[in-house]
Structure 1
């Protein structure tokens, strides 16, 4: 099972972008992160289908980031065993990992496609009920060891 999980965009003005994706696209705001510099939105299928991160109005790249696509997250299963199998497949293919993170609500592997686009492959943690609690939103990102 592989399904599109979420997309992350760097935006200039968070309020303007949230209004667009909420009022025009029809997504619901789940919460804010990073001291109000990011917002998570969902259509209800998962904890977030869209993450918007504000980088401000400075012309050109801001803090090494560019406007637009940051990464695309693909949900690849429902267990750490599925993530371990995916990691083994990545290693067999000779593709380098950029990182592995425990986001509390999900556990992720990060890599680059042949053109340098960042791809996140992840599984959700079934012990975290993202529909009933939002404490995971402010949880620190931890290193993931598989």
Structure 2
């Protein structure tokens, strides 16, 4: 077996409408299925599906509502998802545009990092799932370990 690419991500969310607004209106995902349950299946929770504007595949993000009483992700050291990365371009100007959009929508920025090969902003969705918004730095040789293993430095935009 050979994994060819990461196909899609599925997240449990407390409130499907709130999360839909965040992923669609703040991050710009294209909603391809409405925030709804499945007709005639009372045990199915409301869900919404999205793909990136590039339309690379059938869906890249699926949100499933589990309700406001769902347990929060534990803080601190834990096993499981740390964050997922969304490539938003190849220039710091595109990262600055993203930062302006986040500021405009009141989305807190948790951090900014220079990874040598990428520049990144870190945010969280309404349920606390951490997201890295990044740009690839042109001219990086991805075939060298140094491109990925460089020390993380603070980023100033």
Which structure 2 residue ranges, 5 or more long, are not aligned? Answer: 7-74
Q: Distance in 2 between matches of 1:97 and 1:107?
A: 14
With over 3 angstroms needed to count, the CA separation of the structure-2 counterparts of 1:128 and 1:44, relative to structure 1, is farther
What is the alpha-carbon distance in structure 2 between the residues aligned to residue 112 and residue 123 of structure 1? Answer: 18
| TM-score relative to the length of structure 1 | 0.56
Give the number of the structure whose residues are more often strand, by fraction: 1
Q: Shift of the alpha carbon at 1:71?
A: 0.6
Q: In 2 relative to 1, CA 68–88 (structure 1 residues): closer, same or farther, beyond 3 Å?
A: same
Task: Identify the structure with bigger relative contact order (alpha carbons < 8 Å, sequence gap 6+).
Answer: 1
Q: Which residue of 1 aligns with 2:132?
A: 120
Whole-Å Cα distance in 2 between the matches of residues 73 and 138 of structure 1? Answer: 17
Aligned match for 2:106, one of 89, 94, 98:
94
Partner Cα distance (1:72, 1:137) in 2: 16
Deviation at 1:134, TM superposition (A): 1.7
1:69 corresponds, among 64, 76, 81, to: 81
Stretches of 4+ aligned residues off by more than 2 angstroms: none
Task: Kindly name which structure, 1 or 2, has the bigger radius of gyration based on alpha carbons.
Answer: 2
1:111 to 105, 117, 123: 123
Q: Supply the distance in 2 between the matched residues of 1:91 and 1:128 (Cα, whole angstroms).
A: 29
Alpha-carbon deviation of 1:70? 0.9
RMSD: 2.0
Q: Does the aligned pair in 1 maintain the 2:114–2:120 contact within 8 Å? A: yes
User: What is the CA–CA distance in structure 2 between the aligned matches of 1:80 and 1:121, rounded to whole Å?
Assistant: 11
Residue 44 of structure 1 and its aligned partner are, at CA, apart by: 7.5
| Pairs aligned (count) | 89
TM-score by length of 2: 0.52
- Cα deviation digits, residues 112-132 of structure 1 (max 9, x gap): 10001101000000121113x
